[in-house]
Amino acid sequence: MSSNVIPIRPNHDAENDVAYSMPAVQDVRRLARALFISLNIAPGDSLVCLLGSGAEASNFEAVVSWVKDTLIREQLPPGRLALQVLLPALEARLHTITETVPRF
C-alpha cells in the first residue's frame, strides 16, 4: 500500500550554510562614525526616537543602533561594501524623516 506522504528535502545541505555572525561592536561604531560624518548629522538627541530604539542617549548612538540593526537584517559583513549600502540607505531614511516629521 502506498503512502500519500511525500518526503520534503531541502534544496541545499544545512552544513554548507554559512552562519551569519553578529557584527563586532567596534566595527558597528566605525561604520556609524563614517556615516555620521559623511551625512553631517548634528549632535544632539533628535534622531533617537526616529532612528534608534528610543533608549539611546544621542544621535550618534541612534545611528549605531540603526547600523547594527541594518547589518543584521541585511546580513551584511561590516566593511567598505556595507558602507556602500548603508550610506544611501541612511540618507534616504533621513530624507523620509525630514519630509514626514511636522515642523514647529
pLDDT in tens, 25-83: 999 999 999 999 999 999 999 999 999 899 999 999 999 999 999 999 999 999 999 99
Q: Is the pTM of this model over 0.85?
A: no
pLDDT at residue 45, rounded to an integer: 93
pLDDT band at 99 (very low <50, low <70, confident <90, very high): confident
* C-alpha–C-alpha distance, residues 104 and 99, integer Å: 13
Q: What's the CA gap between 18 and 46, in Å, rounded?
A: 38
End-to-end Cα distance, the chain: 75
pLDDT the model gives residue 12:
46
- Domain layout of the chain by residue ranges: 23-100
Q: 3-state DSSP call for residue 77?
A: coil
